[in-house]
Each structure stands twice: as C-alpha cells, then as structure tokens.
Amino acid sequence: MERVVEQLPREEPQFAQEVWRRHWSNLISFPEPANIDVVREFYANARSYSDEPQPFTSYVRGRPVDFDANTINSFFNTQWPGGNSQCHYSDALRTDFAGIDYEEVERTLCLPRGHFHRNRQGQPLHIKRSFLTPLSKYWVAFIHANISPCSHMSDLNVSRALLLFFILQGQPINVGNIIAHEINDCAHTALSNTPLGHPSLITHLCEIAGVDTSMPPFEKPRKTIDRSYYLQYCLSDEEGQNIPAPPPPRRHRRNRPDSPAQPEEEGPQNTFNMADLNAKLEALHRMGLAHADMMRQVYASSHPGFMTSEEYAARVAWPGDQTSTDGGAGTSSGAQAMEEDQSEEEDEEEEQSEEEEEEEDTESDS
C-alpha cells in the first residue's frame, strides 16, 4: 500500500528540492483508501494472453481502465518531455545495466566503506540498508512505497539502487513508465501470493474511468513517512556506526606443528614437611619410652630380671641408633640378660630334680 511522504525541508532539504524540481508533489501526497474488490478485478483483467505488445489496459465492471505511462503521468502531473524516448533508467534496465560504474553508485548512495554485496563472479546483488546514507534511506522508503513496491526493506537490490542513483544524479526519470511496467509485471506474475501493488493509484484510475469505487471494503494507506520515521529509521543506526571493509579472500594455511613442550625444572624439595613428620614421630617415640619407664618402676620390685631403663632404651632405640652385633643381627644387652636369667632358672630346676632322684634311690636301698 502506498504512503504519504513528507518533504522534510529542514532535515533533508535535498529531498524537498528534488521533489519540487521534478514536480513530484502529487506523487508523495496522493495515497487515499483503496477499494480492495476493484483492485482485485483490475489485476484479474489486466493480464494479457496474446503475443502482441501489452496495451496496458484492464477492465473493471465492464469499463476499460488505462494504466499506460501517459495516463499515469497525467494523473501525477509529471509529463515526460522526451516523447517516445526512454529515460536513462529504462535504457539501463533494457541493457541489463551494462557499462554501469558500480563503484560510483556506491560512493553516491553509501556511507564511507559502504558497498554492494557481490556473488562469486563479482557481480553486484544488493546493498544493505545499514550501508546507505540517511538521505538515501529516506529516498528508498519513498521508492518502495510509491514507485517500485517492495516488502523486503533490509536491503536495496540493483535495479532500485540504480533508480536512486539516477535520481540523485539529476537524470530525467519517466516515473509514469516505471509505474506502468511495475503494474503490468505484477499482473503477469506466476506467483499467487504476490501482493497487489499500487492499490490506491489503481482505485484513482478506475474512478477516473467511471467505475464506482465507493463500496467497501477499503484499505487505508500505511503510516506517513515523516520526520519521526526519518529520526527512527534513517538516523538511529548511523551514530557511531563503523562499516567493515569487504572481507579479503581467505588463504589456506597449513597447521603448524606444535612446539615440543619444555621440560619443567625440578625445584628444591619441600623439606619442611619431612622435618615436621620426623618431629612428630620422635614425640611418639618419647611417649612410648615414658610409658615403659612407668611400667618398669611398677613391676621391677617383683621381677628381678626386668630390664633397666638403659637396657630398654637400647632395645627400642630409634632406627639407626641401635647397637647391634654380628653385622647388625645380634641382640641388645637387655635381651642377653633375660636369656641368662632363663638359663640359670633352668639349671636350678635340673639340680633340684637330680637331688630328688638321689633321695628316692637311697630310700629304695634301705
């Protein structure tokens, strides 16, 4: 649906001046509610099934409705002074834009470092909307609404970019011819879900042809493109924006082998933990000696052969401090004393048993 577009003489005086110079005041202010049934009937009858040149004529409620370039230019009061000649844009479109300097187009439409997105063959495809200048964005909104309808607003394709380029370059534009071909292409599209373009203009043309367009349903024009739109959609994403340069072609690089890991230097061992552990073990050893000394004092009086403190200390001395014989396999003096006591007791028992045997022999002889 078309939209009313304000001129913004303060924010974008170049837009207002160009609209005035081209006599496009009606083109930015004409949209009114469109009759949906009339528009559908117009497009249904605008399709031609013959091989002859398109007459740019449709039929609505039995009445012929012309939509050729002259009829549209007359409605907008934008007469084309070139007669049957084509404008620069139409010539470029007919030759598939041969000989166009796309770098010049980028410099005219885009911010510094803005550029076309290209395919692998280097052919331009579209320009991202964020790459455009605020003035170009405002023109694009007007073109998409009232000249070349498009619902995809995130970028600008090549044909619409060149249309804007010729407008900003001051080249003459046959706007009636462009809109007539847009309507004709929409009528002959093979897609059933394609939005019907220029509904407000078609309603006006049908009304001029004598068709009753007063019966609903109606579709109102979309929201006006005004200063609020300019501030929100044309300036908001420009502050501080840094457009990246086109990425260079990637080069294949071999993976470098990982460098061998450097051996870690062995630092000095932590001797504090070992010293602390030895001190604790020595404390436990001293505690054991103290307990043994207490036991010795308790039982020494009733057990004459009990080891003395010195003998016990030698017996359970700290490893490495024991006094040993026979290459380290001998026993301590305390152990030897205990063995001697045991041997003396055995000798006494043997002597006693011998005396008893002698007494028995004497009694038997008597």
8 A C-beta contact, residue 141 and residue 223: no
- For 171, the token pair is 């080249």
Given 200, 235, 270, the domain boundary residue is: 235
In a domain, 75, yes or no: yes
207 with 288, same domain: the answer is: no
77 with 224, same domain: the answer is: yes
Greatest pairwise CA separation for the chain in angstroms: 180
Q: Alpha-carbon distance 126 to 133, whole Å? A: 15
Say what the pLDDT of residue 172 is.
Answer: 94
- When pLDDT is averaged across residues 208-222 and rounded to a whole number, the result is 94
Q: Which residue would you say has higher pLDDT here, 322 or 304?
A: 304
Tens of pLDDT, residue by residue over 81-99, are 888 889 999 999 999 999 9
Tens of pLDDT, residue by residue over 4-31, are 999 999 999 999 999 999 999 999 999 9
77 with 202, same domain: the answer is: yes
In a domain, 300, yes or no: yes
Residue 160: give the domain boundaries: 13-235
Instruction: Kindly indicate the confidence band of residue 263, based on its pLDDT and cuts at 50, 70 and 90.
Output: low
188 with 293, same domain: the answer is: no
In a domain, 278, yes or no: no
pTM metric for this prediction: 0.65
- When pLDDT is averaged across residues 130-152 and rounded to a whole number, the result is 94
Say what the pLDDT of residue 326 is.
Answer: 44
- Residue 338 pLDDT > 70: no
| DSSP at 52 | S
State the chain's mean pLDDT as an integer.
Answer: 82
- Residue 180 pLDDT > 90: yes
Percentage of residues of the chain with pLDDT beyond 70: 72
Say what the pLDDT of residue 212 is.
Answer: 96
In a domain, 337, yes or no: yes
In a domain, 93, yes or no: yes
- For 137, the token pair is 């964005």
Cα–Cα distance list, 203 to 111, 206, 327 (Å): 39, 5, 125
45 with 176, same domain: the answer is: yes
- 3-state DSSP assignment of residue 64: strand
In a domain, 98, yes or no: yes
Given 235, 263, 296, the domain boundary residue is: 235
Say what the pLDDT of residue 150 is.
Answer: 86
Tens of pLDDT, residue by residue over 307-321, are 676 777 777 776 655
Range from 29-33, 139-143, 225-229, 311-315 carrying the lowest mean pLDDT: 311-315
8 A C-beta contact, residue 203 and residue 41: no
Q: Alpha-carbon distance 222 to 33, whole Å? A: 10
- For 85, the token pair is 């000649």
Say what the pLDDT of residue 240 is.
Answer: 42
- For 30, the token pair is 């004409």
Range from 107-111, 118-122, 325-329, 360-364 carrying the lowest mean pLDDT: 325-329
DSSP annotation string for 219-281:
EPPPPPB-HHHIIIIIITTTTT--PPPPPPPP---PPPPPPPPPPPPPPPP-HHHHHHHHHHH
97 with 214, same domain: the answer is: yes
Say what the pLDDT of residue 298 is.
Answer: 74
17 with 147, same domain: the answer is: yes
Single-letter amino acid code for the residue at 245: A
- Helix, strand, coil shares of the chain as percentages rounded to 5? 45, 5, 45
169 with 85, same domain: the answer is: yes
- Residue 341 pLDDT > 60: no
Q: Alpha-carbon distance 145 to 142, whole Å? A: 5
Q: How many domains are there within the chain? A: 2
142 with 211, same domain: the answer is: yes
In a domain, 6, yes or no: no
For residue 117, the number of C-alpha atoms closer than 13 Å in the C-beta half-sphere is: 12
Terminal C-alpha separation, the chain? 158
Rg over CA atoms, the chain: 56
In a domain, 203, yes or no: yes
211 with 305, same domain: the answer is: no
Instruction: Kindly indicate the confidence band of residue 160, based on its pLDDT and cuts at 50, 70 and 90.
Output: very high
* Tokens 């080249």 -> residue: 171
Tens of pLDDT, residue by residue over 268-283, are 555 557 777 888 888 8
Single-letter amino acid code for the residue at 329: A
- When pLDDT is averaged across residues 233-237 and rounded to a whole number, the result is 79
Q: Alpha-carbon distance 337 to 37, whole Å? A: 131
Given 171, 203, 235, the domain boundary residue is: 235
Say what the pLDDT of residue 232 is.
Answer: 94
228 with 294, same domain: the answer is: no
Range from 15-29, 148-162, 164-178 carrying the lowest mean pLDDT: 148-162
230 with 296, same domain: the answer is: no
Say what the pLDDT of residue 245 is.
Answer: 52
